[in-house]
């Protein structure tokens, strides 16, 4: 079995900048189907930003991400938003 077929969330280099501040920097994340995954970290670590990016509530600055239910999203050059 191809390991990538078992992923429900996958990111590579996912980044977001808010008003010149790195809110998320080069996140590589792989979550397998039927697994339990928690986001833990201090304030400002990028937990909420990651969820917002994956749900489409914010626009990524750079990176690639895929949810099992949607096609892959690729931002090859920094977004100007």
Q: Which residues of the chain have pLDDT under 50?
A: 1-2, 81
Residue-level pLDDT at 56: 86
pTM summary value? 0.77
Residue-level pLDDT at 1: 39
72: left (phi over 0), alpha (psi -120 to 50) or beta: beta
Residue-level pLDDT at 6: 87
Structure tokens at 75: 């931002």
CA separation for the pair 5, 75 (Å, rounded) = 22
Residue-level pLDDT at 75: 66
């Amino acid at each position: 079995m191809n390991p990538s077929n078992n992923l429900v969330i996958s990111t590579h280099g996912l980044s977001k900048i808010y008003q010149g501040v790195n809110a998320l920097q080069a996140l590589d994340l792989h979550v397998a189907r039927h697994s339990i995954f928690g986001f833990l970290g201090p304030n400002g670590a990028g937990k909420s930003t990651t969820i917002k990016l994956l749900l489409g509530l914010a626009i990524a600055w750079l990176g690639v991400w895929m949810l099992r239910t949607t096609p892959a999203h690729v931002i090859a050059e920094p977004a100007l938003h």
